[in-house]
Amino acid sequence: MLLDLTPDQALFRDATVRFLGDQAPPGEVRRLRGDPAGFRAEYWRRGAELGWVSLLVPEPLGGGSLSGRPLVDACALAYEFGRHAAPGPLVAANAVAAALGAADADAHGPLLADVMGGTAIATWAYGEPSPGDRLGDVALSVRVDGPDVVLDGVKRPVESGAHSTSLLVTGRTGAGLTQVVVPTSAAGVSIEPLHTVDLTRRFATVRFDDVRLPRDAVVGEVGDADAQVEQQLWIALAMANAEAVGAMQAAFDMTVAWAFDRYSFGRPLASYQALKHRFADMKSWLEASHAVCERAAEAVDAHDADAAELLSVAKAYIGQYGVELVQDCVQLHGGIGVTFEHDVHLFLRRVTLDRALWGTPAEHRQRITAGLERSEGAA
């Protein structure tokens, strides 16, 4: 990212870059394309030891920010994940860790410690299948039955759903939202893997059929989780945006280097005016994506009133121009760009999937419009 990093942030970034370069190079990503999990357990554990899942957790619980801006720290990490097309449920796991860190430490402290240590993987079950797949739609039912809560419904897509030990499930109780920690081994939970365009990530459909759990499995209060869910969505949006920008940057850098190395009629491709114009467009999209992504993350950390709007602006812009930029990179590589052996498709896959997760560009434009209408009505 283009932010001026503190020494601690730079050290963390450099350690992550070295680790991903060693543990998740493109060859390893290709080798694991048929692996059910998409990554090795040791890879995730060692990454967690570096701090991958603890940046958004309060310091008294074992986490802590590097700079006093925890989401900016997490976005710097997500950017490197995108730049390396790295595997693992980074965004979902951090949303869960943040939720557990804000909840009752006595009830969920042991799970949080395992998640931060990488010995357990917990993911967020938020989205739902069609026709209830619009951003913010939650139909899964969570009802109270004596000392228990009972879950009924379907969640899709759930990242690493088949390879997580626990799910943080967002459901509806009356007019409000409730969140429940559900072990994937619980009776009534069934998980069906999904196919995805991204070679590095795995998703699943998770069904909950009369899943009964004790009341202390609830994170926060029954029917009163709306604000916490919105905070988790902000985390997911900011990190997914940063991840997509990292993939855009990697593809752009790769394509610029190719254009200078490849010669046609005795001149490098980069010297032709028609290609210069295309690179200028791509560079403007990339710089704007960096800027809006970083400004949105900073707004969340600063508790700015326009944080939600900025996150949706970033998601809509990056979702549109990220795919367009990387598709241009593929085309500028010529025939080799559409081969499996070339690395550029790894980044196209990443930005294509990130565009669809946590709300499409169209849905975020609608959120922006709705926010402006509310502001005008209040005025």
With respect to residue 2, please indicate whether it lies within any of the assigned structural domains: no
With respect to residue 1, please indicate whether it lies within any of the assigned structural domains: no
Q: In angstroms, how far is CA 154 from the centroid of its own chain?
A: 21
Q: What pLDDT score was predicted for residue 360?
A: 96
Rounded Cα gap, residues 348 and 79, in angstroms: 15
Q: What pLDDT score was predicted for residue 121?
A: 97
Q: Are 331 and 266 members of one domain? A: yes
Q: Are 264 and 319 members of one domain? A: yes
Last residue of a domain, one of 162, 195, 219: 219
Domain count, the chain: 3
Q: Are 369 and 245 members of one domain? A: yes
Which residues share a beta bridge with 268? 263
Q: Are 241 and 368 members of one domain? A: yes
Q: How far is CA 296 from CA 187, 250, 355, in A?
A: 40, 21, 17
CATH number at residue 196: 2.40.110.10
With respect to residue 189, please indicate whether it lies within any of the assigned structural domains: yes
Rounded Cα gap, residues 160 and 124, in angstroms: 9
Q: ∠ at Cα 118 (153, 102), nearest 5°?
A: 60
Determine how many CB atoms are found less than 10 A away from the CB of residue 224. Answer: 14
Q: Are 256 and 358 members of one domain? A: yes
Q: Are 230 and 360 members of one domain? A: yes
**Could you check whether the bond before residue 131 is cis, i.e. omega within 30 degrees of 0?**
yes
With respect to residue 359, please indicate whether it lies within any of the assigned structural domains: yes
Residuewise pLDDT in 10s, the chain (379 residues): 656 788 899 999 999 999 999 999 998 988 888 899 999 999 999 999 999 999 999 999 999 999 999 999 999 999 999 999 999 999 999 999 999 999 877 789 999 999 999 999 999 999 999 988 899 999 999 999 999 999 999 999 999 999 999 999 999 999 999 999 999 999 999 999 999 999 889 999 999 999 999 999 999 999 999 999 999 999 999 999 999 999 999 999 999 999 998 888 888 888 888 889 999 999 999 999 999 999 999 999 999 999 999 999 999 999 999 999 999 999 999 889 999 999 999 999 999 999 999 999 999 999 999 988 877 776 6
pTM of the model: 0.95
Q: What pLDDT score was predicted for residue 3?
A: 64
Q: Roughly how many angstroms between the first and final C-alpha of the chain, as a whole number?
A: 37
Q: What pLDDT score was predicted for residue 252?
A: 97
Q: Are 105 and 130 members of one domain? A: no
Last residue of a domain, one of 72, 89, 121: 121
CATH number at residue 306: 1.20.140.10
**Could you check whether the bond before residue 157 is cis, i.e. omega within 30 degrees of 0?**
yes
Q: Are 315 and 208 members of one domain? A: no
Measured on CA atoms in the order 322, 325, 329, 330, is the torsion positive or negative? positive
Q: Are 172 and 45 members of one domain? A: no
Q: Are 76 and 180 members of one domain? A: no
- Contact by Cβ (8 Å): 122, 166: yes
Q: Are 82 and 173 members of one domain? A: no
Q: Are 247 and 336 members of one domain? A: yes
Q: What pLDDT score was predicted for residue 123?
A: 98
Q: What pLDDT score was predicted for residue 20?
A: 96
Last residue of a domain, one of 168, 187, 219: 219
Q: Provide the residue range defining the domain that includes 48.
A: 7-121
